[in-house]
Amino acid sequence: MFPEHVTISKVNSYSENTLLSHLDIQFIKIGSDFLIAKMPVNFKTIQPMGILHGGASVALAESIGSVGSNLLIDSKIEYAVGLSINANHIGSAKNNFVTGKGTLIHMGKSTHIWSIEIIDDDKKLISICRLTVMIIKKRKEK
């Protein structure tokens, strides 16, 4: 599914000077039909009660799906952006890392739908997310 020329270092280079770099989100694996990224659970990503902030989990999930969709389209003529996301926060994390695995479940001409599961280092389920990504045609320059 993903182009063979895409490497993890290339994917991580897209994140420089973005929200992903501020949250220390790193892509760690590209599979034939999935994309995996990890994020630390630390002072940047926790809420006042000392557990992973749900918004940080959503940022991880949306990043996985949006980057995944942008890898699948022709970036010369279109781009992909998050349209809608749903997240169910099932567990909590207090330290180490969480890892999100995004799997494309629908690839249409104008939308992609991703299922993203976020787990902690002990493989405990933290969040389940569903992301709809809209594919937008770039405007021709005048």
- 62 an active-site residue? yes
pLDDT at 32: 84
108 lies in a domain?
yes
Lookup: tokens for 136: 């937008």
Three-state DSSP class for 77?
Answer: coil
pLDDT at 25: 98
Give the C-alpha separation, 114 to 68, whole Å. Answer: 9
Instruction: Mark the ranges of the chain whose per-residue pLDDT is less than 50.
Output: none
- Which is the catalytic residue, given 4, 16, 62, 117? 62
1 lies in a domain?
no
Give the C-alpha separation, 115 to 16, whole Å. Answer: 25
3 lies in a domain?
no
Q: Is 43 exposed, middle or buried (0-12, 13-18, 19+ CB in 10 A)?
A: exposed
Q: Any idea what the CATH number is for the domain that residue 69 is in?
A: 3.10.129.10
Q: Could you tell me the pTM of the whole model?
A: 0.95
Structural domains in the chain (count): 1
2 lies in a domain?
no
pLDDT at 62: 98
Residues spanned by the domain of 99:
8-137
pLDDT at 3: 83
Lookup: tokens for 95: 């330290």
Three-state DSSP class for 55?
Answer: helix
pLDDT at 140: 83
142 lies in a domain?
no
* Rounded to 5°, angle at Cα 116 from 65 and 72: 30
- Residue 103 pairs with which residues in a beta bridge? 34, 115
| CA diameter of the chain | 54
132 lies in a domain?
yes
Owner of token pair 């997240």: 87
